[in-house]
Each structure stands twice: as structure tokens, then as C-alpha cells.
Structure 1
Amino acid sequence: MATPASAIVGGVPATTPYATSLQSFSSTTSGRADAAEATANFECGGVLIAPTWVLTAGHCIPYTTGQARLNSLSWKEGGEAIPIKAVFRDPASDPTGARFGNDGGLVQLAEPAHSQSLPLAAFEQPKTTPGTLQGWGLTCDDLLGDSTDPCWKSKPEHLQELSMKRVDDHVCDLLSPSGTQLMEPATMMCLVPSKDGKSGACFGDSGSPEFLTLQVLDKVTKRRRWQPVVFGIQNAIMNASSFKDGSGNLIPNVCSVGPNGAINRDALTKVSPELPWIINTIAAHDRSASVSVQRNLITPGDLAPDTLGAPRK
């Protein structure tokens, strides 16, 4: 649907936490008259690309103001929890949500993370090549009620992942209520689940990384090694112009099947067109981190022969 995506339906538990959990804080009274404690709330996914920088979706930026939890399969505990220092949104994006292009966002952390950052792809993901989407979004999309509906409460604590493949851009074509085409191939790509069935990204998966595990040649030793490479960031579900019907009722299964039984279609922000903004934004605040991101970029020349034909599962 033409709305930010949230969680993975029909996925499986992830075993390696490549995704980062971005959280906000809310204050709750602790019991004493004038005492309160902060409660973390999961908002969006992201991926660490430098020790103090996380890449996410631009539409997530207004909500990611608390902390980032890295290197943990749980968004609630474990790994590293680091306060967020600043957030940045690609100025070419549309904060009103009327269009989905250029949906890049950056989160600067208050201190360096010890977790491993992932390299970004400096080229587009090939068609039909399967990748992996990770996220903490909803695992149920039988949305038949309001926010009290059990489906809205199905956000998992454990990170989920789903195999997806890129298809032709027109598969994600979708008109907004005003008649504007929401799929923008210049900065977005269209993915569908690799296997048939009720599956797909859902509410809460926004900002989560989509990556391919490829054989690359080490820049120093020239030896082959397997490396997760980030090609996309979850942006929007493209199954309907709204997740409510004309009467204001929620449309069930919109994250996984969509109206009229259509297969799930997810639009992701392509990493490669966002690279100039990513590199320049980081450089304006942390030149060494910008150099690190550029040094770690993966180009076709960094791949071992035929690696795209046989990505590791």
C-alpha cells in the first residue's frame, strides 16, 4: 500500500543481526510522586554503515530520536544501545508523504559502536537476484479493526527476515489518490517475495536493510570472502493506495497479498542513487567516517567471478 512499511509477514527468525533497531523514548511514572523513567519504543529499522552512522528511511527520521540498538536479535535488549545525537533526511524527499522517492535518512550516534558496519553497494541490484530483508515489523496483517486489533500488537521482539527478489519496476506502479505515480524508478526498486505464499514487508519494517551476501575479493589480500552488501532500504508497500477501503475499514492481508489477491509488492529505496547525499552529509559532520564509507563501497569490480549467479543463502 502507499504507506510506510513496518514488519515482515511470513518471514523466519534471523540468526545474524545485520539490522539496527531505532527507538524513541516515552516517559512513564515510576511510582514516586515526581519520578519518571524513560521507556524505549521501537520505531524503525536501519543498518550501521560507519561506527557512528546508521542508514534508514527518510520518513523514519521524525520518530527516531532516542537510541539505536545494534548487534542484537532483540529490539528490547542485548547488543549495544547508543543514544542518538542527530538525524538527517535527504532534502530531495517529500516530508508530506505525497511521493516516495529519495527516501534516505541518516542517524548520527552519540558515540562509536563496536558492532560491525556493512558496506553499501555502488551499483544496482540485478533483476531476479534474491536478497534478504530483515526487520521487526508486524508478523500478522489480518487487519480488521483499529489499534486494539491483535494484529497491530504482533510486532515481534526477535528479528525476522525474508528472501525477496527484484522485479521490473512497473510491477510496483501505483497511483496516489491524486493520480501521481508513486513508484519512482530513479531512486526506488521493486521487490517481491522469492517464494509464493503469504509473506512480505509490513508496518514497522520501514528503514530496514535489504542485502545480498556476495563473494567479494578482499581489497588487500585479494582473497574471496562472503560479505553482506546493502542494496536497499525498505520504503513502502505498494498494494493499495490506502490500507483502508472506501468505507474506512481496514483491508486485511494488505502486507502479504493485497487487494484482489495480488502478490505482495515492496518498493525499496535504492542505495546507489543515494550515495552522493549519504557521503556528503556524513562528510559535513565526520570526515573520517565519510572516508570509511567510501572505502568500503562495493563495486562490480570487487566481486569474485560469477558471484551474483550464486549468492549464499
Structure 2
Amino acid sequence: MKTIKAFAPATVANVSCGFDVFGFAVEQPGDEVTLTLKKEPGVVVKKIEGDGGRLPLAPEKNTASVAVLAFLEAIDRKDEGVEIYLKKNLPLGSGMGSSAASAAAALVGINHLLGEPLQRKELLPFAMEAERVACGSAHADNVAPSLLGGFVLIRGYDPLDVVGIPTPEDLYCTLVHPHLELKTEDSRQVLRTSIPLKDAITQWGNIAGLVAGLMKPDFGLIGRSLKDVIAEPVRALLIPGFDEIKEKAVETGALGCGISGSGPTIFALSTERELASRTGKVIQQQFQKLKLESEVYVSKINTRGAKVV
């Protein structure tokens, strides 16, 4: 086999209370990466589609190629020749893990192409290196669920300790992406560098409650735990109408609603597909009132993660 195509899904990082330590994958949208082995050594990004010409073709700057380069060096095959064709279905700066999806798809593809020398979880450090290039921080709350699927807890980074959390069968995600762009670096700059102990205790209780709610499963507990007192209060200021949007989503019947990653995409969790679809329409209507166009995606939680197509 000389050519292979792989897909990696969008992800919701933070999941309200789980700032920088929690994330989950959805079914759609996602990025596609086609990789072809070539005789000449070196990794080449041949073409990128869907980015409006904004992403770099330089292999040391593109997340898909950075991940492949790190992988090849780790398995001592850095002289391998690889061509990469990247199809971006995820909007840039959307808060849906765009850079992570490109890296995850590339890694699953090259690993399969070369005979699966590494286990899926062993690919994580290379995807994290791609995240470092993309936004300056080697975080795993997008790449881990994109690679592994489901809900993922990043318990620690030194050493890397990633834990999969069981996903209730009847859980649906609504993603609404308004036509705004927020850079991760900008969203991080508005965060406080220290927090009151009272807020920290509230946040700890909510993340523990969210994990327990998923594992029991207890949808009421999940809903009560989807509250962020650290990042959301300040990041909400960057998203027009956020407080009213959140209120309307919960009134519609969603378990909870929050900012996906660093925004501006909004996520909501529901117990039925029809309810998740209705929630998406309500959120979209709120954006329309603000003269903002948006896309709505509804799916079950993706428990498989990135895959070879």
C-alpha cells in the first residue's frame, strides 16, 4: 500500500468545567489527510484544500506534517518520503480542534501505512508537538479525544496520563459555529493568572461531578456539573450574546451549554437527537438576531476517534 486516506473528528475541549484537562470527540465535521509514500526522502505538504490559502505548506510549520515528522523520527524512519494532501473541513480558529484534527488524521494514516508500529495512545506526543507549533502550547485536550475517541481526561502531563471516560449511549452533542474567528492565543490572554480558592473548589467539584455523571450514568448530575467559573466568565465576553444563548439552550431542554475550546463555537449536550437538533436551531436563531451566520452540527459522541477511510 502506497497511499492512504484518514479522517479525524472535531473535538470539544474543556467541556465547561474541565479547562485544559477534558475533551470529547464528535462524529462530524472533521479533517481528511491523504498520505502517499514516495521514493525521495522528506515530508512534503503537496496541497491544502479548504483553508483559503492561510495554512503553511512548510513541513516544519503545518500540524499534519509536524506530527508525521515527529513520528518518523521516533520510529527511526526519518528518511522516509511522504507526500501529504490535507482537506480542511474544519474552520480555522473555531474552537473545534482544527489543528488537532489535521495532526490526528495524519498520524493515524502514516502509522497504518507503515504497518502500525505504534499503538494509538503512543501517537499522542507527536500530535501534542503539532499543537505546540500551532498555538505555542503542547496541550492534549483536543488531540487525545480526536485520536482516541469518546470523553478523555488528561490527568497529568509529566508523565502524560490520559484516561478514557465511559460515554453514555443516549448522549448527543450540538455544535453551533458562528462566523467569527477567535485565536487560541487571544482567548488565553484574557484569562486570569490566579483564581480565588472558592472558585477552585467549585471547579473541582464540577469536574468530579461531570466524570461521575458520565460513568454512572446520571444525566442530571452531568447537567449540574457543566458549569465553568474560571474560563467561561471572561471568554464569554468575546462571544456576542453568549449568556442569552446559554440560557435559551437550557430552556430548550439541553443538559448544559458552554464554549467549545477557546470559542467561538458553542456546544450543548442533550439526551435525544431531536432535542439536540432543536437546541441547535434555537442557538442559531440567537446568532441570527445578532446578524451572525452560523453552521449547526448534531451527532452522537464519537467513541472511535480518528480512522482510516
TM range (shorter): under 0.3
More helix by share: 2
More strand by share: 1
TM-score after normalising by structure 2? 0.25
